[in-house]
Structure formats: structure tokens, C-alpha cells
Amino acid sequence: MPILNKAIVFKQENCGDGLQKALNMKPIDILFAVRESGLKGRGGAGFPAGSKWMLASAAQSDKKYVICNADEGEPGTFKDRLLLTEFTEQVFNGMTICGYAIGAHHGFVYLRGEYSYMIDEMQATLQQLHNSGRLGKNILGSGFDFDIEIRLGSGAYVCGEESALIESLEGNRGEPRNRPPYPANTGYMGFPTVVNNVETLATVPILINKGVDWFTSIGTEKSRGTKLISVSGDVDRPGVYEIPYGTTIMEIIEMAGARDVKAVQVGGASGICIPEAELHRNISFEDVPTGGSIIVFNNSRDMLKILENFMEFFTEESCGQCTPCRIGNKKLLDGVFMIERGECSVQYLRELISLGETMQVASKCGLGQSSPNSFITIMKHFGDEILSKY
């Protein structure tokens, strides 16, 4: 499964020996390099990786952990699957470099249960790394020890949220914790823990190998580097595309062969709906940030049916721990059914939108906070069309 356009960062020839280079550096210099590169988290929230690593590095503790978040559950996202199969070694090396930089000796990959068919090949790569002295004791003669363990999820979208993921690793129900404290401080078993997305970690060895200047020359001022985008829906060539930050949505979907476009959902079910008139907007932390899912809808699609699909997803995947999310998503889904039956007044629709806005601020974790996004944006852009149809 290759990247479908011309790759920029994720090319085998860029990989070189980032791990060896990193181990020749002092941990503090790696922390500075990652910070100066401007690398931000690729999993959705976009927290600067360098700052997160520095927090974990500064935390005083005899044990620390690195977790690679491979839960990839956001509808329409499959770019981590590509990295885990085509750039497996870089993902693991990124974890090792992080461990070296923050002083951790153990890493976990939390792989979604749906990807369990990939685990044998990943284990084989781990074994190879051990055999060639790139994992385990005294890695490449540096005196640094690091081990990686793969753990499987069991079919719960919310476990991609980092504190729920940690709960799950600890053997609990995957229910998000209150934050702060953040994992960098109080993570797995209470120890300082860096949780990073697969793509963030896989970028690190390449960034170290090619240098900070090379990396910062790609992308925009506040969004350095590239983003892997999973494109699906009404396109001729669905798949993973690598784009420099700042690329417009139009450019991306044209690469994928979209025609007769009505709207594009950016960021999956928890993302936002962009109508055809706004396709000039670009993917970046300045404009439209995303974990990497783009779903294209053509003019034959009924936006209410799409919204129904999203709201069903959230009512099922909510962990039910807090009221705004548990009850709110159910109300929004019921609202969609009412519209379908022609029973929803404009007055009630307004109330639902304001309920959505309450959920955005009052929910305990990102799931509940982002779940009303599609309801709000689809109603904003297609409310009239929907209400006149039903």
C-alpha cells in the first residue's frame, strides 16, 4: 500500500540511519532539535512534540514510558496502517529515540484490535531490530536500553484518547481521566509518559536524519512538515496522500480524482463539514487542522443520511461516563430521526445546535467535545436543503 502521490518526508531514501544519528547526540540536543523542528502531534490535537518530550524529560522519576498511539479509530482514517506496514522500523525507531531523549526504557504500541492481523509482521520487525542490536540492551553500543511491547485494543474508539488508552493498558475500562494531570507527568502506572501518534513518531528519525533546516523548509510558518491524508468516499483513487501543510482541500481531492463535489468531511466523524464553496481552504494548524481523514461526498449524497451515520457512531462509541456526551449525542441522533420524519421544528433545531455547543465545552474528553462538530457544520451549510427536503 504505497503513498499515492509524490512522497516528501515518507520516502525510504530519507530514512538513512536516524536512530544511529540520534544516539550520537546528547538527549538534550534531541529535545531541542524536535522542538526547533516545530513538529506538532499528528493524531489530531497538534500539541508540539518537542514541548511534550521536554515535560516528560524534566519530570523526576525512576521509570518513564513511551506510548505509540496506533488506535486509529477515527472514521475515514487509515494512514497509520500505511506507516505500520511500510515504515514499521521508523515507527519503532521514533519510539526508541523518544525513550533516549526523555530517559524511558520501555515503550508500548497500542494497536487497535481491528488491526490485529498486522501484529505478526510487526513482531517480526521487532525481532529483527533486537537481532541487529537496535533494540534491547546497549543499543548500537550507546549504553542505552529500550524495549517495545505491542498491546492490542479490543474495539473501543474512545481508547484512542490518551488517558483512556492508558486506563486500558492498566487493565481498566477505557474511560478518559480528568486532565490535568497530563500523561507527560502522570501517565502509565502513574509514571511520566509520552503518548504520540504513529505518524508523529515515524517522522522523528527522518527529521533527525535529514536535519531540522530541511524539515522546517516544508510546510507553513506554524505547521512544519507534511501530513498524511487518508482520502475516501466519492473519489476515483482513494488512498493515502502526503501533502505539505498549506495544501488546499481542493488540490488534495483533485489528486484523488473527485468529481461533482458537494462537500468534504475533514477530520472524520469528529471533524467538520466543508461545503464546495470553501474548498480553497487549506490543511494546516492555521486554517483546517486534521488528524488526517478526508471523506468526499458528491452531489448525489443526502447530507442528513451522512449525519445520521456520524451520530450513530458517537452514540455507540461514547463511554457514557459524563452526561453531556452520553445524553447529548443521543438527543442529536433523535433530532436527526425527527427531521427525517418531518417532525423537527426550526425552533427545536436551534435548541439542538445550542445543545451541541454546550457539549463542546462541557464534555469531559475530546470525544464528547468534538462529536457535535458534524451536526453543527452540516446544519450550518446544508440546513436549508435538509429542511426543505424532509
Could you say which of ligand FMN, other proteins, ligand SF4, none residue 42 binds, taking C-beta under 5 to 8 angstroms by partner kind?
Answer: ligand FMN
Tell me which residue of 38, 11, 79 sits closest to 252, measured CA to CA: 79
Tell me which residue of 361, 360, 362, 269 sits closest to 309, measured CA to CA: 269
What is the size of the binding site for ligand FMN (CB under 6 A)? Answer: 21
Could you say which of other proteins, ligand SF4, ligand FMN, none residue 318 binds, taking C-beta under 5 to 8 angstroms by partner kind?
Answer: ligand SF4
* Phi, psi (rounded to 5 degrees) for 72: 20, 70
What is the β-pairing status of strands 261-266 and 239-244? unpaired
Could you give the string, one character per residue 321-360, with x where binding to other proteins holds by CB under 8 A and - elsewhere? ----------------------------------------
Nearer to other proteins by Cβ, of 76 and 335: the residue is 76
Question: Interaction with other proteins in 207-246: which residues (CB under 8 A)?
Answer: 230-234, 238-240
Out of 18, 73, 289, 372, which residue is the one contacting ligand FMN (CB under 6 A)?
73
Report in angstroms the alpha-carbon separations of 76 from 10, 267, 271: 20, 8, 11
Could you say which of other proteins, ligand SF4, ligand FMN, none residue 200 binds, taking C-beta under 5 to 8 angstroms by partner kind?
Answer: ligand FMN
Could you say which of ligand FMN, ligand SF4, other proteins, none residue 172 binds, taking C-beta under 5 to 8 angstroms by partner kind?
Answer: other proteins
**Residue 90 beta carbon to other proteins: minimum distance, rounded to whole angstroms:** 19
Nearer to other proteins by Cβ, of 309 and 354: the residue is 309
Angle formed at CA 317 by CA 289 and CA 168, multiple of 5 degrees: 90
Out of 72, 89, 234, 242, which residue is the one contacting ligand FMN (CB under 6 A)?
72
**Residue 7 beta carbon to ligand FMN: minimum distance, rounded to whole angstroms:** 20
CB distance 206 to 14 below 8 Å: yes
Distance of CA 179 to the CA centre of its chain: 19
For residues 199 and 212, give the distance between their C-alpha atoms in angstroms, rounded to a whole number: 17
Question: Interaction with ligand FMN in 158-177: which residues (CB under 6 A)?
Answer: 158, 160-162
**Residue 377 beta carbon to ligand SF4: minimum distance, rounded to whole angstroms:** 19
Tell me which residue of 10, 42, 82, 40 sits closest to 291, measured CA to CA: 42
Stretch binding other proteins (CB under 8 A), from 52-60, 78-86, 247-255, 279-287: 78-86
Nearer to other proteins by Cβ, of 150 and 349: the residue is 150
Residue 171 is placed in which grid cell?
Answer: 487493565
Nearer to ligand SF4 by Cβ, of 173 and 380: the residue is 173
Is 88 a binder of ligand FMN (CB under 6 A)?
no
Amino acid 166 reads I
**Residue 336 beta carbon to ligand SF4: minimum distance, rounded to whole angstroms:** 18
- Residue for grid cell 546528547: 26
Could you say which of ligand FMN, other proteins, ligand SF4, none residue 45 binds, taking C-beta under 5 to 8 angstroms by partner kind?
Answer: ligand FMN
Would you tell me which residues interact with ligand SF4 (CB under 6 A)?
158, 176, 318-322, 325-326, 363-365, 367-368
Could you say which of ligand SF4, other proteins, ligand FMN, none residue 321 binds, taking C-beta under 5 to 8 angstroms by partner kind?
Answer: ligand SF4
Is 41 a binder of ligand FMN (CB under 6 A)?
yes
Out of 71, 175, 234, 242, which residue is the one contacting ligand FMN (CB under 6 A)?
71
Question: Interaction with ligand FMN in 190-209: which residues (CB under 6 A)?
Answer: 195-197, 200
Q: Which residue ranges make up the site for ligand FMN (CB under 6 A)?
A: 41-45, 47, 69, 71-73, 158, 160-162, 195-197, 200, 365-367
Q: Which residue ranges make up the site for other proteins (CB under 8 A)?
A: 72-78, 80-81, 112-117, 151-157, 168-175, 189, 230-234, 238-240, 265, 269, 293, 295, 297, 301, 306, 309-310, 312-313, 316-317, 319
